[in-house]
Amino acid sequence: MSLLLEKDDLSEYLKPSEIIDFGTQEIVDCANSLVQGLNDEILISKRIYEFVRDKIHHSFDIKGKVITCKASDVLIHGQGICYAKSHLLTALLRYLGIPTGFSYQKLIFSDENPSIVLHALNAIYLKEMDKWIRLDSRGNKEGVNAQFSLEEEMLAFPVRSELGEVDIKTVYADPDVNVVLALQKSKTLEELEKNLPNEL
């Protein structure tokens, strides 16, 4: 699919922030450790992506007891929902100089809770290909098989437009404010499920 950039300046997709806090020692040490011996940006991106996808647990999958938002907190606690995991993936890649942004979908939360909620993805710019690709670090499980793919997108969930689901084509430089607020004001997963935003 054709992606639309919110910002024309690539440097906007490399900035740190309070949420994308890649200057912290935890982020620096993790990124450097993961890419040791790698020089190719595609291999680096794949290594970082697979770490966040596979080694950081999705909080709903493990019935986590902590709600994370800041990238460093996601790394320290080893868990987060899709929003939080997208913050960590952004921080690690931006620290390594790879422009990374945020993309969202509107999806049905579950069969038990059929409300529409935002789902977070990342988009990264690969200089050697002069191309943006989207990645979904939600975490694989039965029925979910997201992969690092340079050509055809392999995301966690198909968008079912007939059910009101929407794929948002814009690549944002910052996490959506409604996403950040939902994470920051929720103390438990039960609260978070009620606070999940359905609009950017």
pLDDT digits (tens, 9 = 90+) for 139-159: 999 999 999 999 999 999 999
pLDDT at 56: 98
The ranges of the chain with pLDDT < 50 are none
Instruction: Give dist(CA 42, CA 50) in Å, integer.
Output: 12
pLDDT at 1: 62
Q: pTM above the 0.95 mark?
A: yes
Domain edges within the chain: 4-195
The CATH architecture assigned to 4-195 reads: Roll (3.10)
Q: How far is CA 142 from CA 43, 99, 113, 176, in A?
A: 26, 31, 19, 28
